[in-house]
Structure 1
Amino acid sequence: MKRPLVISAIALIWGIVLADVNIYHGWGLVTLLISLVIFILVYRPLKGKLSRFCLLAVPLMITGYILHSINEHHYYDRFAEMESQAVTLKGTVYDEPRHEEGKTRFTIKILSVNGEENARERNHRIQVNIYSEEPIPGLQYGSIVNVTGEIRNPAGKRNFGGFDTRKYLAARGISGTMSVSAKAVNILEGREFSWLKNAGYRLRNAIISALDKCLPQETSSVAAGMLIGYTDGMPEELEEDFRRAGLAHVMAVSGANIAFLLAPLLWLLKKIGFSPRWSSAIAFPAMIFYVFATGMEASVVRAAIMAGVTLTGMLLWRKPDVYCSLAFSAIIILLCNSFMLFDPGFILSFLATLSLVILYNPIFGKLPKWLPKFVRDVLTGTVAAQVGVIPVIAYFFNTFSVISVFSNLLIVPLTGLFTVLAAITAILGNLYMPLGMSAGLLTRIISGVILFITKRTAAIPWAEIRIATPAFILVVLYYALIIYFRFCHPRMDREAARPVAAVILAASGALILLTSIPNRALMLYFADVGQGDCALVRTPAGRNIIIDGGGSINDEKGSFAGEHIVVPLLYNLNMTEIDLMIASHGHMDHIGGLKTVLDKIKVNRLIVADAPDTEMRELTDKALEMGIPVTQMKEGDVLYQEDRLVIKAIYPLEEEWLMPNAAVANANEFSLVVRLDYGDFSALFTGDISAETEKRLLTDNADIDCDLLKVAHHGSKYSSSAGFLAKASPSLAVISVGRNRYGHPGPETLERLSAQGSMVLQTIDSGGILVEVWENEKRMRVTTTVR
């Protein structure tokens, strides 16, 4: 085996995975021991053919397990004892503050907690969010600050397939978060910083400043993105265009950017008279400064390590091996922080590079010879990279760019020239502005072409399609098939290879069919959307229904809950089309996310309460503008019906004289209350009604007896009266609630539910809650995201 480093990298990764998936270390150690035994058993009969350095896999697998276990202890729940307590942290600003949309965000490295310099939290990092319309004067990298506020432990995965904030921040070395006002931050005298990192930030700011002065705003933002990966100044619409056109990767600094900049630098040094060795030695520190200027994202660190290996090889007159370079860079990054293994940027960077290496020659050889070589090069690179990352992009982002091959064929040949021109513009702009502006003229021309192609291709309606999250086992199967047909199949005897390939493809097809078999159970999913309501229903016939969508009164430029929780959750649950959207009432914590769902997912019908709820107007008007039929319903109306399943309204009441006065009543009292019956099972969704409306239902003798109750108004003490609960008599009560200042859920409500004998689950504690009911069963199968 010529590449023992590759085996060692795989072993390190496997050790990290074992530590991550095993909740209990006892089981983790058992699986680690089994893995080591299997490796030794495989190695022994092959040791004559394999290098002894392959045995490095043993200590690296153990290292991966131990290191990740230590890192979990280091980052997870580090501030559990301090959570929800006001503390004063003294620390140094660890990165450059970033200001956008009324918020300044930065990281501090803790020096002391409440004046205690020997606190165990010293040297941990906290992400601080300051709500302010303007950047904080004097706040910069290295500033020493006092910050007073509540520390929060980052949340892990809160919904099935949801985003894991805790892992994301841990990959960036962050253990906790604070959200405070500008008054809570006090900038002290002095600064503490790394001169190398500070030089990188100064270089980045100098580049951005020069580009802004020498180029129009849109061109400058594209140049900064391609040159150093800085997209803060790019308009959201333009970022969306690059993504839809399948060109988002050109804004992520990677090996191509380093190659674009190193190649002319090495050529210039050679022309000056430096030898290849001296050129490499000079280029090395220049590359280090460039890495710090880009913000040290995973893709550029990976590329820099690989470039460093190449430059070192030039110094030692050794030709580097790309597989070993990739393995070496992965080992270095993961040893520094094992959580990087789960970072999408890390995964995409390595997969794109690896697929280019593995698939370039086979794809290039299949293309027609009459095509110009540069066209074949671009086509091969684009297709190879796309093949490597398609399932991962689908898994993490639920998108697939149909137009990417065509757009990359037009854009990629220009990116190298544009990156070099942007660099020249930035350099000359800092040396002598007129020269920078002159260089910027040519940069503008190339940028104009890039922007024209990007916007035109992004405008094609089918340029990008949204897809459901593929099953993880299918993603693994995809890469297993690529590895088999690239490396194993060609080496087999032809007579044996064909039947083996047939068996593998048949087994793969069977696995795909098995994962595609629909679940015929009734599925009720209560999403954790924070302080709001959102319930998803998939009927046995496969129809998708959403009842409320979370949101916040602070949602001015779109709903955070809708964009980052509800829509991804719908794709994770394979709900790519909503047959019925039900909005209980017009408060933003119920309908804010629904507006985002209307924008992102096809909705066939919207149902609202037949009541004077003026706050619902915004949602219904939006739906009507999109051509979605809107129906108002009240007591006795059937919202949906299929075999053995019916959803009907029991409130607002049919008798209008029993309803509250619209002039003085809160929208909560006009909530659409619906009842779901499936065989012997029943569920009640109560919106935000109060005890007064519950009395109206009891007076009207409404059928509220149920097995599952979605508790009204997030568990408010003014709802869920004893009389109402006695008649409803639910076996399971679900409270959709998050952190709030209203005292939800009220202790009185919890006591009344407990006295009734109901099992109570809260989304703030359990995360997303899945309830499954099978035909002819009344028993509920309950699964929670947080256990």
Structure 2
Amino acid sequence: MEPVSPPDLRLLPLTVAAWVTAWWAVTQPAGPLFIGLGPVALIALGLSIVRHRWAWVAVPVVAAVGAVLLVTGAHQEVRAGDPITAAAAEGASVTVVGRVSADPQRLASTFPARPGAQRWLLRIVARQVVRHGVPAASRAELVVLADPAWSRVSVGEIVRSTGRLAATEAGERPQGVLKVRGPPVVVDAGSWPWRVAERLRAGLRAACAGLPRDAGGLLPGLVVGDTSNLPDDLREDLQTAGLTHLTAVSGANVTITAGAVVAVLALAGVGRRGRVAGTLLAIVGFVVLARPEPSVVRAAAMGAVTVTGLLLSRRGVGVPALLSAATALLLWDPWLARSFGFALSVLATGALLLLAPAWLRRRDRRLAEVGRAESRWRTAVFAALSVPLAAQLVTAPVTVLINPTISLVSVPANVLAEPAVAPATVFGVLTALVAPVWPWGAQGPAWCGGLATWWITVVARRAADLPGAALPWPEGVGGLLLLVTLTVVGLVVAARSRRPLRSGLTWATGVVVVVAVTHGGLPVPGTDRLRPGVPDDWLVVQCAVGQGSATLLRSGAHRAVVVDAGPDPDLMDGCLRRAGVRVLDLVVLTHFHADHVGGLAGALRGRGRPPVLVSPLPLPAGQARSVRRLLGDRAPVAVTAPMSGTAGERGRSVTWSVRTPDPTPAGALAAQTSRAEPDGAVVNNASVVVQAVVGGVRVTALGDVEPEAQRELLRTGVGPAEVVVVAHHGSANQTEDLYRALGARIALIGVGAGNDYGHPSPKALAMLARARLVVGRTDTQGDLSVTAAAGSLRLVASA
């Protein structure tokens, strides 16, 4: 067996030093960075004098640190002198002219029914800023929060708009946030490469319009990162199944595209130098087409270095190319050190270059030692498992910082989806090239690419529904360190085993199961039959959380929308576990009384970072501040005080809208002005009323609205419902006409046993009886579940 040279890791210390330095340096002003160059230069000089082999290793590392400090200091000096920096610090109103540098994205924190309520996010690189009528040149990068009219701008266009600036946090690449109202003024269409790229992307979208919804939405995302038509529920399933990376252009796309170009040029008889030049041009063009995102730029830089290595006929250039590309990019743009996309891209590529080949070589050695030959299909299976497992192990500690969940199905899902990636990419790029000049002819490759993405969507849908698809994991740095420790231990165990892949999988699975069970996130098989009150086919659950209200609306397998969270975190967490909910798609807090928001931390415990809708009235002030503080600690949770009529869809089975009363009635204004504790009825009447359709069943949750707000609902019109969550825990303050107008068949009352309020009131129970509603109450019946088997509504109680 031919000996294999060890991987060339000589550049690794240099890359790590540059990365760590850049991570810190971008948070500092220019002064300390330039001052730090002196000690670094002295250290480099001292090391160069020392005649020791380690000195020659340390000198490049110190040089990299100095280079990063110098480059970042120069950047910070320019940023500090830019007029936008001072204007952002003062919150000034300005007019900005700049080039659009990133595609507009609709913010997940808004769920509008009216187009004017939408907010979109994009980035521009400023060219000129006008403040107090005085123009000044600028090169600042800005995040723009804008109206829906901005959704039609494209990368490369020069736009002008007026808005108010806000400063960003230290360490963020943008120098400010520009909040604008109204449409942009397009000053110039931009340079020709961007115009061509936009025409190609538009042609790809148009060619995909005739494909099935999922396949047609995924193909542009997989090929060029255009997720504008990707269905929200498919986006969530891709994330749950560990396939989100397919919607972010990465090294795989660049490699596939470059490989196709090389093959075409080789068939055309082009020589090596011509193939290299053509491939480099294709890589540059692909970056413009897919947008220069961090992962795309990293992949393109590595591809350029690799092609250069091939031109020089050098073998084993993969690892040095990766490290060289990462270091060069960090020197070019130090803010990449804080980009999750850049980190995931580098780590995944490193795993594919180092870990997976090492497993394959070790397996070959084991087989050679025992003198046994392996069948081709088993070798192919081993290789197919090694690649996604290596990438998963290395990137998981970073992904838990973004979303504190881990998946037992991501590796097999990636194995099943991977064969479709290459044909989808090739046919997708071909579609984009053909569509602008021959739209009808582009339909053929579009359908071929759509067939490949259809298979990927099938895998994502099925995998997301499997047990173990999204297991909660401890959040923050603690969760990262725990996963790093377990990963290292698992790799050591695998390295000492005669069957490394099998033992590694066994170790990883065992650790995940133990940690997930102890963390409370994984239901043990067979426990469903121990929960008679929470049937598998539940659509709505009114949780037994004591004297408070918490309602679950099923939005998918092991997913839910939560309306209020009860008074106690542990009780809320327990109800979600009994219902088998592992991921929250949305949280609605109808108002800020403690019996509706006190259990929020338990609801969010290990269930991701769902957007949160809150009452527009932030009273009682202390409780509202506590909620905001809790959500602020879990960034990037999006918090929105919705307008009446706000609507949306979550998961596969929930469509919803909200009704909000006047958020500033006279009593609330008086309370805010006097800083006195508001009257309870004032806060109750500011409750957000939720109307939803869950699996075809209409549900209305009334919060704690009092008769005044109930009559307002009647006056403005309220839609019918089959299930109603009774207002204010069944208090006596009810408007019978409202319940009759709803026409509901089942009434759910969230109430605690032996409460001091006399809830539910005999008067309210009598009113519900006259309206012929089936009444469930959590104080005597425990968790209340609504099912709709065979189209027939059924109320199931756990007690």
Verify: 1:122 aligned to 2:138, yes or no. yes
- For the aligned residues, what is the CA RMSD? 5.9
Corresponding residue of 2:250: 254
Corresponding residue of 1:113: 130
Corresponding residue of 2:161: 147
Report how far residue 487 of structure 1 moved.
9.3
CA distances 1:171-198 after superposition (whole Å, capped 9, x unpaired): 4xx2112222226x4444x45x444444
What secondary structure is seen at the aligned counterpart in 2 of 1:372? helix
Report how far residue 34 of structure 1 moved.
9.9
Letter in 2 for 1:450: I
Verify: 1:407 aligned to 2:407, yes or no. no
Give the Cα separation in 2 of the matches to 1:630 and 1:28. Answer: 62
2:380 aligned residue (349, 374, 377)? 374
Give the Cα separation in 1 of the matches to 2:63 and 2:20. Answer: 12
Change (3 A) 1:305 1:486: farther
Corresponding residue of 1:180: 180
Give the Cα separation in 1 of the matches to 2:134 and 2:178. Answer: 19
* Superposition map of 1:237-276 within 5 A: 237-276=233-272
Corresponding residue of 1:475: 480
Change (3 A) 1:256 1:397: same
Corresponding residue of 2:65: 61
CA distances 1:40-80 after superposition (whole Å, capped 9, x unpaired): 999999943x5836512112213334544565676689245
CA distances 1:199-243 after superposition (whole Å, capped 9, x unpaired): 433433343334446x44532221111111111111111111211
Kept in 2, the 8 Å contact 1:225–1:231? The answer is yes
What secondary structure is seen at the aligned counterpart in 1 of 2:435? helix
Corresponding residue of 2:649: none
Report how far residue 406 of structure 1 moved.
2.2
Corresponding residue of 1:432: 438
What secondary structure is seen at the aligned counterpart in 2 of 1:350? helix
* Superposition map of 1:751-766 within 5 A: none
Letter in 1 for 2:128: L
Change (3 A) 1:593 1:24: farther
* Superposition map of 1:344-359 within 5 A: 344-359=340-355
2:614 aligned residue (551, 573, 588)? 551
Letter in 1 for 2:396: I
Kept in 2, the 8 Å contact 1:309–1:325? The answer is yes
Which structure 2 segments of 5+ residues have no match?
1-6, 108-114, 368-373, 497-510, 520-567, 570-587, 606-610, 618-624, 638-678, 695-700, 733-750, 764-799
Corresponding residue of 1:88: 95
Give the Cα separation in 1 of the matches to 2:600 and 2:209. Answer: 54
Report how far residue 345 of structure 1 moved.
1.0
Give the Cα separation in 1 of the matches to 2:34 and 2:488. Answer: 28
Kept in 2, the 8 Å contact 1:533–1:550? The answer is no
CA distances 1:731-767 after superposition (whole Å, capped 9, x unpaired): xxxxxxxxxxxxxxxxxxxxxxxxxxxxxxxxxxxxx
Corresponding residue of 1:208: 205
Give the Cα separation in 2 of the matches to 1:34 and 1:123. Answer: 30
What secondary structure is seen at the aligned counterpart in 2 of 1:435? coil
Letter in 2 for 1:336: W
Report how far residue 540 of structure 1 moved.
14
Report how far residue 262 of structure 1 moved.
1.7
2:16 aligned residue (10, 26, 32)? 10
Change (3 A) 1:566 1:252: farther
Report how far residue 308 of structure 1 moved.
0.8
Report how far residue 357 of structure 1 moved.
2.7
Kept in 1, the 8 Å contact 2:11–2:323? The answer is yes
Give the Cα separation in 2 of the matches to 1:41 and 1:487. Answer: 38
Kept in 2, the 8 Å contact 1:9–1:330? The answer is yes
Identical columns (%): 20
Give the Cα separation in 2 of the matches to 1:398 and 1:113. Answer: 43
Give the Cα separation in 1 of the matches to 2:192 and 2:685. Answer: 47
Verify: 1:394 aligned to 2:396, yes or no. no
Change (3 A) 1:252 1:106: closer
Change (3 A) 1:628 1:148: same
Verify: 1:360 aligned to 2:366, yes or no. no
Residue correspondences, number = 573
State TM-score, norm by structure 1: 0.59
Report how far residue 92 of structure 1 moved.
4.0
Report how far residue 304 of structure 1 moved.
1.0
Report how far residue 248 of structure 1 moved.
1.1
Change (3 A) 1:4 1:315: same
State TM-score, norm by structure 2: 0.58
Kept in 2, the 8 Å contact 1:457–1:463? The answer is no
Corresponding residue of 2:671: none
CA distances 1:677-730 after superposition (whole Å, capped 9, x unpaired): xxxxxxxxxxxxxxxxxxxxxxxxxxxxxxxxxxxxxxxxxxxxxxxxxxxxxx
Kept in 2, the 8 Å contact 1:211–1:426? The answer is no
Change (3 A) 1:565 1:262: farther
2:462 aligned residue (453, 456, 462)? 456
- Bigger CA drift: 327-336 or 468-477? 468-477
What secondary structure is seen at the aligned counterpart in 1 of 2:128? strand
Letter in 2 for 1:334: L
Kept in 2, the 8 Å contact 1:396–1:469? The answer is no
Which structure 1 segments of 5+ residues have no match?
157-165, 492-507, 517-521, 524-528, 555-560, 574-582, 600-605, 642-647, 657-787
Change (3 A) 1:627 1:187: closer
* Superposition map of 1:486-505 within 5 A: none
Kept in 1, the 8 Å contact 2:209–2:216? The answer is yes
What secondary structure is seen at the aligned counterpart in 1 of 2:406? strand
Verify: 1:229 aligned to 2:225, yes or no. yes
Corresponding residue of 2:292: 296
Corresponding residue of 1:160: none
Corresponding residue of 1:337: 333
Change (3 A) 1:466 1:626: farther
* Superposition map of 1:607-622 within 5 A: 612=707, 614=709
Letter in 2 for 1:201: E
What secondary structure is seen at the aligned counterpart in 2 of 1:274? coil
Kept in 2, the 8 Å contact 1:227–1:257? The answer is yes
Corresponding residue of 2:532: none
1:465 aligned residue (456, 465, 470)? 470
- Bigger CA drift: 294-303 or 97-106? 97-106
Corresponding residue of 2:675: none
Verify: 1:310 aligned to 2:306, yes or no. yes
Report how far residue 125 of structure 1 moved.
2.6
Change (3 A) 1:27 1:537: farther
Letter in 1 for 2:477: F
What secondary structure is seen at the aligned counterpart in 2 of 1:126? strand
What secondary structure is seen at the aligned counterpart in 2 of 1:128? strand
Corresponding residue of 1:672: none
Corresponding residue of 2:448: 442
Corresponding residue of 1:162: none
Give the Cα separation in 1 of the matches to 2:96 and 2:239. Answer: 39
Letter in 2 for 1:152: A
Give the Cα separation in 2 of the matches to 1:610 and 1:424. Answer: 57
Give the Cα separation in 1 of the matches to 2:284 and 2:131. Answer: 37
